[in-house]
Structure formats: C-alpha cells, structure tokens
C-alpha cells in the first residue's frame, strides 16, 4: 500500500477522518484538525519517503509529537537512519513553532501599540467589578498583554461577552500578565485569570496571571527564575465542583516547584457552590452586602 495512505491512517487514528493525502517530501505541512474551530490549521506533519518511510505529526493546540514508520529497521544502519529522521522531524517542528511564535509576537506588539486605552465601562470589566488598569482595546475586544521574561509575546482578547482567545500561533506556555511592581521584598501573587489578578491587585498585591491551569506551573517557574528572592503566594481557583479539584492540584504542584505558599478563597456560609475564584468571591460579597 502507498506510504502516504498508511501515514494518513496513522493520522486518522488520532484525529479522525481526513479528506486529503499527506505529501512525502520531508517538509512541515499544516492541516485542519477535525473538531478544532473552523478555519484553524493547528495540525502539523512531516513525512519522509526514502529508506524506511517515516514521519511525525502533532497539534500545535494540544502539544506533543507522535512518530510513525512503515516497518521496523532491519539492521543498525536503518535504526540509525530512523533516529536521524525523528531528530530531523523534531528540529523542523521546533523551527516552525519558533516562526509561529515570532509572527504572533510581532502582531501582539503592533496591536498593543495601536490599541486605545481600555474603556473603564467595558461590559466585561463592569461584570467582573474591576478597573481597566493598563489594558488596551481593539474594537470591542479588551487586549490583555502576555509577557515572557519581560518581553511582550502574545495577547489575550476578551470580548464584551467574556469570550477569550489568544493570538493565533502565539506562545502560551510560560507566559504571564503582570499587575503591579515586583521586588525582592514584596510578595508576588500568581493566579489564573486576569479578572482574578485585577481583584487581588485592587487589594494592594503585585500579581501575575498565568491565564489557564495548564500554564500555571510553567508560568510560576519562569517568574521564579526572573525573581529568585521574591516570596511567592499561589492564589488559585478552587474547583470544588469538579472531580479531583484540578485548581487545587495545579496550585499545589506550582507551589512545590517555586517554594511558594498557597491560598484559596474562603467561602462564607451561603456562598453558591458554583463560585470558584477570588473575583467570584469579591463580586458575591458585594452583592450580598448590598442585599
């Protein structure tokens, strides 16, 4: 059977039906992953046809790399050739990822430079009960700056309805959005979302938002390397309604990695069970006090 068909079978075993044939030219190609948002091309693959046919593939959104070969190597020479192909595929993927990150970083800096000061009465800010601080706005979307080692590398866009998206191809692993000035003798609070960060900053804390639970440990480790003497407080979401409480699990792992303390919201009697973070607690407390 044709190696391109065999390789496509391997792709389909992971991603589902595909209506195209892979190109066995040893280059990086992108494709739409079934189930991803329409118009996105988060999938990638590379396929080598000479020698033992081999290839690699993965998803930029999900991460990870899978490898494939048409048969087992017959001798040490073929085994070495296969290892070289795997290394080459990984190098191609790394180069393409770097290119995607650089393109997105350039777009982030242009949008941030051209964005206007965020409207203090933006519906999302009003609903969350927080100030705009240094956020900017493009059209109706808020722009949340995401940094890596002090450099702006990505943006999170927040719609008036609360929808959130990063720039296509932008780096997410290890990035953070800071509020306040960090110094060696002041505590740095690391939390998840920007609204939670703004809530904590309004109470006087210097804060960095990691944006999602999967990035919590990478962001905390990056920040620890940047601020080695600063005390860390991990203020994470309390996913008490979710099996295993992933928020608490992520916070404890991050705290262990950076030598920080952990804090979770303390829920008063009568607080609804669907509240999970410090912003939820602040908003519920205000409405409860008014009542």
What mean pLDDT is predicted for residues 250-254? 83
Q: How wide is the angle at C-alpha 132 spanned by C-alphas 127 and 137, nearest 5°?
A: 100
Asked if residue 33 has pLDDT above 70, the reply is yes
The predicted pLDDT at position 121 comes to 97
Cα–Cα distance, 46 to 49 (Å, whole number): 10
CB contact at 8 A, 144 and 158: yes
Which of the four pLDDT bands, split at 50, 70 and 90, describes residue 98?
A: very high
In this structure, of 68-72, 78-82, 150-154, 227-231, the range with the lowest mean pLDDT score is 78-82
Report the mean per-residue pLDDT for the chain.
Answer: 91
The predicted pLDDT at position 1 comes to 55
Cα–Cα distance, 103 to 99 (Å, whole number): 6
Question: Whole-prediction pTM value?
Answer: 0.81
Asked if residue 290 has pLDDT above 70, the reply is no
Which of the four pLDDT bands, split at 50, 70 and 90, describes residue 289?
A: low
CB contact at 8 A, 152 and 171: no
H or E stretch at 109: helix 76-114
pLDDT tens across 206-230, in order?
Answer: 999 999 888 989 999 999 999 999 9
What mean pLDDT is predicted for residues 23-34? 92
β-strand partners of 156:
144, 166
In this structure, of 13-17, 31-35, 65-69, 234-238, the range with the lowest mean pLDDT score is 234-238
> What is the sign of the dihedral through the CA atoms of 162, 167, 168 and 174?
negative
Cα–Cα distance, 210 to 105 (Å, whole number): 17
Percent of the chain with pLDDT over 90: 60
Percent of the chain with pLDDT over 70: 98
In this structure, of 17-26, 75-84, 254-263, the range with the lowest mean pLDDT score is 75-84
Which of the four pLDDT bands, split at 50, 70 and 90, describes residue 107?
A: very high
User: Domain extents for the chain?
Assistant: 3-104, 115-290
- Enter the tokens of residue 110: 């242009």
- Enter the tokens of residue 242: 């979710």
The predicted pLDDT at position 51 comes to 80
DSSP tag of 54: E
CB contact at 8 A, 243 and 253: no
pLDDT tens across 45-71, in order?
Answer: 999 988 889 999 999 888 888 999 988
What mean pLDDT is predicted for residues 20-41? 91
User: What are φ and ψ of residue 18, in 5° steps?
Assistant: -125, 140
Cα–Cα distance, 11 to 289 (Å, whole number): 56
pLDDT tens across 162-218, in order?
Answer: 999 999 889 999 999 999 998 878 899 999 999 999 999 999 999 999 998 889 899
Listing DSSP states for 230-283 in one string gives S-EEEE----TTSTT-HHHHHHHHHHHHHT-EEE---PPTT--TT--SHHHHHH
Asked if residue 291 has pLDDT above 60, the reply is no
């Amino acid at each position: 059977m044709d190696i391109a068909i065999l390789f496509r079978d391997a792709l389909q075993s992971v991603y589902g039906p595909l209506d195209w044939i892979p190109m066995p030219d040893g280059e990086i190609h992108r494709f739409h992953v079934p189930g991803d948002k329409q118009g996105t091309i988060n999938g990638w693959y590379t396929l080598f046809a000479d020698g033992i046919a081999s290839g690699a593939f993965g998803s930029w959104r999900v991460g990870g790399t899978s490898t494939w070969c048409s048969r087992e190597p017959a001798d040490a020479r073929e085994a070495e050739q296969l290892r070289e192909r795997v290394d080459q595929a990984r190098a191609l993927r790394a180069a393409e990822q770097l290119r995607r990150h650089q393109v997105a970083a350039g777009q982030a800096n242009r949008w941030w430079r051209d964005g206007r000061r965020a409207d203090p009465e933006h519906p999302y800010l009003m609903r969350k009960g927080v100030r705009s601080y240094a956020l900017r706005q493009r059209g109706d979307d808020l722009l949340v700056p995401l940094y890596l080692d002090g450099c702006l590398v990505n943006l999170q866009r927040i719609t008036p309805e609360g929808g959130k998206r990063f720039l296509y191809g932008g780096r997410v692993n290890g990035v953070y959005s800071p509020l306040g000035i960090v110094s060696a003798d002041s505590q740095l609070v690391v939390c998840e979302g920007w609204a939670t960060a703004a809530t904590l900053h309004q109470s006087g804390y210097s804060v960095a938002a990691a944006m999602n639970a999967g990035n919590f440990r990478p962001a905390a480790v990056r920040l620890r390397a940047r601020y080695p003497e600063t005390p860390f407080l991990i203020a994470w979401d309390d996913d008490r309604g979710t099996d295993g409480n992933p928020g608490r699990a992520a916070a404890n792992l991050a705290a262990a990695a950076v030598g920080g303390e952990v804090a979770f919201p303390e829920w008063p009697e009568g607080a609804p069970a669907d509240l999970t973070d410090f912003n939820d607690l602040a908003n519920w407390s205000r409405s409860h006090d008014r009542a």
